[in-house]
């Protein structure tokens, strides 16, 4: 079954739309719901996702990676984030992937993603990658500290339809790497593209601020940070903050 591309003008959240669709019907793998406007776009840790109507890309893609062990689900983050990087590389330079699943231009956030498991439908395990990419928005008003759009970088608009199609082609090609058991290639590319890959920067955990260098990311998705004295700290999602 070929994937569907469902383009709608408005919905609360494309992730929610996808979850509801999965409950109702069989949705071919790779299908994507794309909305011009979300009335209640959802971000990480219960945040809202600000996106002006008709300006950006806000969409959700479903895949069924039932073959992946639970401790390898971070691959879906790598797949989604690295695919956005590959898309944006077509338009500009200085794009990196920021652990666990943002995409940055220099020190500013150009894309966020919310990956949710869905166990409700007729499929054993569906993974919904909800992705918001700032394309043509000229100004940001919400609480996000450091947003940037492609328009702010380039000084001109880009065609959303073209970007959507380009993204899907890239995403499918990268997903095939996983399906073929070549996920190491994807992981290597993700690691090569990391924000703050080299050098010491400031981070903050429950005990306060500290300077560290990125030492690696485990297959489980844990972040390894090396202090100047050589101590290595290991973090789960949300246990550590990057000081910008
Ligand atoms: C974040 O950085 O906090 C995550 C933002 C995720 C936003 C996207 S937009 C499409 C999809 N639908 C949602 O409601 N959220 C995600």
Q: What is the count of structural domains for the chain?
A: 2
Residues 99 and 207 in one domain: no
Q: Give me the phi and psi of 230, to 5 degrees please.
A: 95, -15
Q: Domain with 146 in it: what CATH number?
A: 3.30.930.10
86-122 pLDDT, tens digit per residue, is 999 999 999 999 999 899 999 999 999 999 998 876 5
Residues 178 and 230 in one domain: no
Domain hosting residue 46, numbered range: 5-192
The verdict on the CB of residue 42 being under 6 Å from ligand 1 is yes
Residues 232 and 157 in one domain: no
**What is the pLDDT, as a whole number, of residue 45?**
82
Write the CB contacts of 119 (distance below 8 Å, at least 6 apart in sequence). 125, 126
DSSP assignment, residue 46? G
Q: Quick count: other Cβ atoms within 10 Å of Cβ 76?
A: 22
Residues 45 and 15 in one domain: yes
Residues 69 and 172 in one domain: yes
Whose Cα sits closest to atom 3 in ligand 1?
43
Whose Cα sits closest to atom 15 in ligand 1?
42
Residues 176 and 214 in one domain: no
**What is the pLDDT, as a whole number, of residue 184?**
95
**What is the pLDDT, as a whole number, of residue 122?**
58
181-214 pLDDT, tens digit per residue, is 999 999 999 999 999 999 999 999 999 999 999 9
Residues 168 and 218 in one domain: no
ipTM given for this complex: 0.99
CA of 32 relative to ligand 1 center, distance in Å: 14
The verdict on the CB of residue 100 being under 6 Å from ligand 1 is no
Instruction: Please give the order of strands across the beta sheet that includes 232-235.
Output: 232-235, 223-227, 208-217, 200-205, 241-242
Residues 99 and 215 in one domain: no
User: For ligand 1, what atom is nearest to the CA of residue 59?
Assistant: 10
Q: Domain with 214 in it: what CATH number?
A: 2.30.30.100
Residues 238 and 126 in one domain: no
Residue 47 binned pLDDT confidence (cut-offs 50, 70, 90): confident
User: Which ranges of 109-182 would DSSP assign to H, the alpha helix?
Assistant: 150-154, 160-179
Q: What is the mean pLDDT of residues 125-148?
A: 93
CB 196 within 8 Å of CB 241: no
Q: Which of 6, 112, 128, 164 for mutating ligand 1's site (highest number of atoms within 8 Å of CB)?
A: 112
């Amino acid at each position: 079954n070929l994937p569907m591309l469902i383009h709608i003008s408005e919905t609360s959240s494309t992730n929610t739309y996808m979850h509801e669709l999965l409950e109702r019907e069989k949705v071919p793998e790779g299908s994507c719901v794309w909305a011009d406007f979300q009335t209640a776009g959802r971000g990480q840790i219960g945040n809202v996702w600000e996106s002006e109507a008709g300006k950006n890309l806000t969409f959700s893609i479903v895949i069924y990676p039932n073959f992946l062990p639970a401790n390898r689900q971070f691959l879906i983050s790598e797949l989604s984030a690295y695919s956005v990087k590959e898309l944006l590389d077509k338009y500009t330079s200085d794009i990196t992937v920021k652990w666990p699943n943002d995409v940055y231009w220099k020190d500013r956030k150009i894309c966020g993603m919310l990956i949710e498991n869905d166990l409700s439908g007729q499929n054993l395990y569906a993974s919904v990658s909800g992705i918001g990419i700032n394309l043509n928005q000229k100004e940001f008003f919400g609480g996000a500290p450091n947003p940037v759009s492609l328009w702010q970088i380039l000084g001109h608009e880009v065609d959303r339809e073209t970007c959507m199609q380009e993204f899907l082609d890239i995403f499918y090609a990268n997903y095939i790497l996983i399906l073929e058991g070549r996920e190491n290639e994807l992981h290597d590319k993700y690691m090569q593209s990391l924000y703050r890959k080299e050098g010491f920067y400031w981070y903050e955990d429950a005990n306060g601020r500290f300077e560290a260098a990125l030492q690696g990311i485990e297959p489980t998705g844990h972040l390894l940070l090396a202090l100047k004295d050589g101590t290595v700290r290991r973090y789960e999602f949300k246990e550590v903050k990057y000081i910008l």
